[in-house]
Amino acid sequence: MGTPTPASFLFPLLEKNGMGAKPASFVIIVLALLAGCNIFSNLELPGDDDTDTGSDGDTDGDTDTDTDTDTDADTDADTDTGTGTDTGTGDPCDGVICLDPPANYCFDSGTLVEYEDTGVCDEFGECDYGPSEHECPCVAGACDCPEHYDPETYCEECLGNWDPGADCAICPAGFGDAGDDCGTCVVYVDAEMPDNAGDGTTWAAARRTLQDGIAAAEVLVGTCGHVDVWVAAGTYNAWVESASDTFQLAGGVALYGGFAGGEVSRGERDWTANATILSGYDAAVTSRVRHVVTGADDAVLDGFTVRDGFADDGGPWGAGMLNDGVSPAVTNCSFLDNEIVTVLNMPRGAGMANLDASTTVTDCVFENNTMSSPLLGWGAGMYNTGGAPLITGCSFKGNKVISQDGDAMGGGMANIETDAVVTQCSFETGEAEAFNGGAYGAGMYIEGGSTEIRDCDFVDNYIWSYPESRGGGLSIASAAALVEGCLFDGNNAMTGGGLDIRGTPAPTVSGCLFRDNMTEMGGSAIAVQGSSPTIENGVFDHNWSNGSGGAVRLDTGGVVSLVNCTFFDNSAVYPGHVLAIHAGAGAVIRNCLLWGNSESGSWLVFRDPAATCTMSHSALQAVPATDCTEDPAGTMVAGGCAVFAADDLHLAGDSPCVDAADGDVAPELDFDGNPRVDVPWKENTGTGAITYADIGAFEYQP
C-alpha cells in the first residue's frame, strides 16, 4: 500500500490546525526538521531513489501509483469514527466510511440534538453527521420536569414513550400533573359525579363538590410546585347550611373552570361553551349566600360565572366575591345578578368588593349587579378601597346603585382612597339614582387616592337624583387621578354628562373624546367645581346642554387649563355653547380650536363678570365670540383657520392653525399619538422652543 507524500499529509494538517497555506520554504524547513527526527522514516520524499513508476514519468508523486511495499497504517492522524483503509492516494477521505454517528442528546430541557445516520467525510477526513436541533414534542410539557426524566434520556421519552397519565414524581398520592408544566398537580371536580366518593386524582374519580376539591388541593400546597383544581361545566351551589357559606379560595391553589371533562391540558378548556357556574342561590331552600366566593392571597379564579349572591346587613359588601385584605388573581370570569340590600349599613361592591386588597382582575364581565339602601352606596359592579387593584380588559354593563335618603356613587365601579389602575375597560348603561341625596358617577366614581384610567370607554351611562346628579360617565372628587385616552359617549346627567371633577387635588385629563353627551344644567362633556384640572388634547364633538356650557362648565373656585383641545358642533340653550365660566371660576385656554359650534360668534364662551378667562394661540370661527382676555396679545388666529368635514376634525395643510401654536405648552404628541411636525411650506407663526406645533388636538401630518 502506498504511503502519502509529506506534502499531501502536511497541508491538510496545517489547515486543520488553523495554520492555513504556508510558503514552500516554510514547508521545506519543517520537513527537514521532521526528517531529522526520523518521523518520515517510512515516507518517501520528492526526489528519493524509490522505483516510482508514475504513468507520466515524473517523480513528484502527485498522482502516481506508489509501488513501495510499505505496510504502515494511515498516518494522517484522522479522528473520524469511519472505517476503511487509506490507499495512499493523498485523499484524506479515501476509504473512510461514515456510518457510526454519535448518540443523540438533549441540549437543554426542551431541545433535542439529532445526528444523521450517514455522515459526509470532510476535508480533514472526519465524518460530519450534520447535527440539527429539534424542539422536543413533549406531551404536556414533560421536558420541563427533570424530576421525571434522566437528563440524558428524557427527550427520548418525550418523543413517544411518556404516558400523559403517569404521575409526576413530585405529585403525591396519585395526583396527575396539569399537563402544562410537570410541577403542577391537579385535583378534578365534576358536578355530574353520582357522589362525592372520588379522590379527585382523575376525571373518572373526580370530586363532586367544589369546596371538597379545594380542600384536597390545599393539602398538596408546598409539596407540588403548583396546584390546580380543574372544574367541569355545571352549577355548583355555595349554600350548604346558611347564608354565611361561601366558596373559600386557598392560597397556592388555582381554580380553572370551563372543562367538559376528560381534558389532559388546561389549554383544551372553553369557559364560554362549558359554563362553570358558582351560584349563591339554592333552589331547594330558596335562599342565597352573602358572598359566593371569598378570596385568598396567591389564589387564582379563572373561567367561572359567579352569580346570585345576596348580601345584607350581616355583611353588606362583595355579594359576588369578597377580598378582604387578600389579593387573588381573577381572570375570564363573569359576575352576574349579584345584589346587596341593606337598611342599617352602607352597601359596597355587589359584584366584587376589594377591601385593602390589590386584586388583579383581567378580562372579566360585571353585569346587572345592583345595590339598594336608604344610606350611602358605592360601586354596584366593583368597590375598591385601599391597596392597588389592577383591572384590565373588563366590561361593566347595566350595574345600578340606588339610595333613598343618601348618596349613590359608582354604578359600575367605585374607587375610594385607592391607587387602582383601570385599563382598556368599558362602562356601559350604568345607573346611579338618589331620591333625597346626590348621585355621582353612573359609570365610575373616584374619591381620594390616585386612580389611573387609561383607554376606557364610558358609554350611555345615566344618572338621576334630586337635588344633584353629576358625572354620567365618571365622577372624580378630590383625587389626583389620571384619565387618558378615554371615550365618553352618550352619557347623561344633570351636570357633567361625561365627566364631573370636584375638589383638590386635581386630576389630569388627556387625549379623551367627548361625544354626544347631554345635561340639563350644563357641562355636557365636563363639569368642574372647585378644582383646577389640566385638560389637554381633548376632542369635544356634538355635546348638548339644556343649560349653559354645551361642552364645559366651570363653577365656584379653581382655574381650569385647556390645552390643544378641539371643540366642534357643541351647543347650549343658555350662554356658552362651548364653555361657560361662572362666578368664582377661571379658565386659561391655549392652543385650542373652537370651530363649527352652534351659533358661533354668539356666546361661544360665556364668562361671568366675577370669573376670569385668558386665551392665547387659539382660533375661533368668528371674533368677537368671547370676552376672554387675549394674553399675550396678537396670538389669536381668526378666519378660515379650520378646514375639515364634520366627521373629520383634522386640519388641512393650508390651515392658518398649522405651525401656529405655543410649543412650550403643547403636549409632545397629539390626540392620535403623532409627534409635532414642521410643515416645510408653512411659515412658523407659533412661539416657544417648538414654533411649529399646531392649534387644536390634531397635528397636521404632511
For the residues of 294-354, what is the DSSP string, one character each?
E--TT-EEES-EEE--EE-TTS-B-SSEEEES---EEES-EEES-EEE-SSS--B-SSEEE
More confident position, 87 or 126: 126
How far is Cα of residue 565 from the mean position of the Cα atoms in its chain?
Answer: 29
Q: What angle do CA 206, 208, 210 make, to 5 degrees?
A: 100
More confident position, 78 or 401: 401
pLDDT at 77 over 70: no
**pLDDT score recorded for residue 633:** 85
Cα separation, 702 vs 698, in Å, equals 12
Q: Is residue 51 part of a domain?
A: yes
**pLDDT score recorded for residue 176:** 57
- Coil, strand or helix at 512: coil
Model confidence pLDDT, tens digit, residues 2-24: 443 434 333 333 333 334 444 44
**pLDDT score recorded for residue 112:** 62
- Sorted by sequence, the CB contacts under 8 Å of residue 486 that are 6+ apart come out as 453, 454, 455, 456, 457, 458, 512, 513
- Count of domains forming the chain: 1
**pLDDT score recorded for residue 516:** 98
**What DSSP element (H or E) covers 522?**
strand 518-522
Q: What angle do CA 480, 486, 490 make, to 5 degrees?
A: 115
pLDDT, average across residues 330-335: 98
The grid coordinates listed for 528 are 368642574
Taking phi over 0 as left and psi of -120 to 50 as alpha, with beta for the rest, 577 belongs to: alpha
pLDDT at 25 over 50: no
Compute the half-sphere exposure of residue 228: CA atoms within 13 Å on the CB side of its CA: 24
pLDDT at 87 over 80: no
pLDDT, average across residues 494-504: 97
Find out whether 587 and 558 touch, Cβ atoms under 8 Å: no
Question: What is the reported pTM?
Answer: 0.77
The grid coordinates listed for 548 are 349653559
pLDDT at 64 over 50: no
pLDDT, average across residues 515-531: 97
Q: Is residue 461 part of a domain?
A: no
**pLDDT score recorded for residue 88:** 52
- Sorted by sequence, the CB contacts under 8 Å of residue 633 that are 6+ apart come out as none
Torsion angle in degrees (nearest 10) through CA of 306, 310, 315, 321: 10
Q: Is residue 3 part of a domain?
A: yes
**pLDDT score recorded for residue 41:** 38
Q: Is residue 12 part of a domain?
A: yes
Q: Is residue 442 part of a domain?
A: no
**pLDDT score recorded for residue 48:** 41
Find out whether 335 and 320 touch, Cβ atoms under 8 Å: yes
Percent of the chain past pLDDT 90, that is, above it, reads: 63
Q: From residue 694, how far is each of 262, 446, 618, 635, 636 by CA, in Å?
A: 62, 33, 10, 13, 13
Q: Where do we find the cell 444523521? A: 116
Model confidence pLDDT, tens digit, residues 136-166: 444 333 444 444 434 444 444 444 433 433 3
pLDDT, average across residues 376-404: 97
Which of 623, 626, 649, 637 is closest to 686 using CA atoms?
637
Model confidence pLDDT, tens digit, residues 649-683: 899 888 889 999 999 999 999 999 999 999 999 89
Model confidence pLDDT, tens digit, residues 171-191: 554 565 554 444 578 999 999
- According to DSSP, the residues that pair with 391 across neighbouring strands are 361, 422
The grid coordinates listed for 223 are 409539596
**pLDDT score recorded for residue 464:** 87
Find out whether 472 and 442 touch, Cβ atoms under 8 Å: yes
pLDDT, average across residues 307-323: 97
pLDDT at 1 over 50: no
Model confidence pLDDT, tens digit, residues 235-288: 999 999 999 999 999 999 999 999 999 998 899 999 999 999 999 999 888 899
Which range in 45-49, 73-77, 85-89 is most confidently predicted, on average pLDDT?
85-89
pLDDT, average across residues 435-450: 96
Q: Is residue 37 part of a domain?
A: yes
Cα separation, 54 vs 192, in Å, equals 91
Find out whether 129 and 103 touch, Cβ atoms under 8 Å: no
- Sorted by sequence, the CB contacts under 8 Å of residue 649 that are 6+ apart come out as 539, 541, 566, 568, 696, 697, 698
Q: Is residue 109 part of a domain?
A: no
Q: Is residue 69 part of a domain?
A: yes
Average confidence score pLDDT of the chain: 83
More confident position, 633 or 549: 549
Q: Can you give the residue range of the structural domain that contains 20?
A: 1-77
Model confidence pLDDT, tens digit, residues 452-484: 999 999 999 999 887 899 999 999 999 999 999
pLDDT at 110 over 90: no
